[in-house]
């Protein structure tokens, strides 16, 4: 059949605003979650991770929230800057797996930050 490109969700914010990017995951057996950022022409770059025994983790300007009840993950970016413009992916890893690098990536969200 005809293949179609992924239609990525988009989020457009003003510089200095806080951004929230959401992700729904499907595998209730997943116990490790990661956010990656991909800038145009580059490979994905690790932002922050969280294990399933936590519901919140903070990094520098970023916070990840995990709601296992509804299988939802979010990434909050404080004081968003133009350099934060990129595609953001959530990724999950299944419990009991032998490899934390065998990740299932979400479709991604395009974040555009306007000066």
Question: Rule CB under 8 A: which residues touch other proteins?
Answer: 3-6, 32, 34, 41-46, 49, 89, 93, 97-108
Question: Please, is 68 exposed, middle or buried when counting C-beta atoms within 10 Å of its C-beta (0-12, 13-18, 19+)?
Answer: middle
Would you say 93 and 108 are in contact if contact means Cβ atoms under 8 Å apart? no
Helix (H, G, I), strand (E, B) or coil at 58: strand
Q: How far is the CB of 15 from other proteins (least distance, A)?
A: 26
Q: How far is the CB of 23 from other proteins (least distance, A)?
A: 13
- Of the two residues 86 and 108, which places its CB atom closer to other proteins in the complex? 108
Backbone φ and ψ of 84, nearest 5°: -85, -10
Closest distance of CB 14 from other proteins, Å: 28
Give the nearer residue to other proteins in terms of CB position, either 19 or 108. 108
Q: Closest distance between other proteins and the C-beta of residue 109, in Å? A: 12
Asked if residue 36 lies in contact with residue 44, where contact means CB atoms within 8 angstroms, the answer is yes
Q: Which two tokens stand for residue 92?
A: 């999950």
Nearer to other proteins, 50 or 77 (CB): 50
């Amino acid at each position: 059949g005809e293949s179609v490109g992924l239609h990525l969700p988009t989020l457009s914010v003003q510089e200095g605003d806080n951004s929230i990017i959401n992700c729904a995951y499907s595998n209730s057996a997943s116990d490790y979650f990661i956010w990656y950022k991909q800038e145009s022409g580059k490979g994905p770059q690790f932002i922050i991770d969280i294990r399933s025994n936590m519901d919140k983790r903070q990094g520098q300007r970023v916070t990840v929230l995990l709601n296992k009840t509804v299988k939802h993950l979010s990434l909050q970016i404080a004081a968003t800057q133009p350099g934060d413009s990129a595609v953001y992916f959530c990724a999950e890893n299944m419990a009991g797996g032998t490899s934390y690098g065998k990740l299932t990536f979400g479709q991604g969200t395009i974040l555009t930050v306007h000066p």
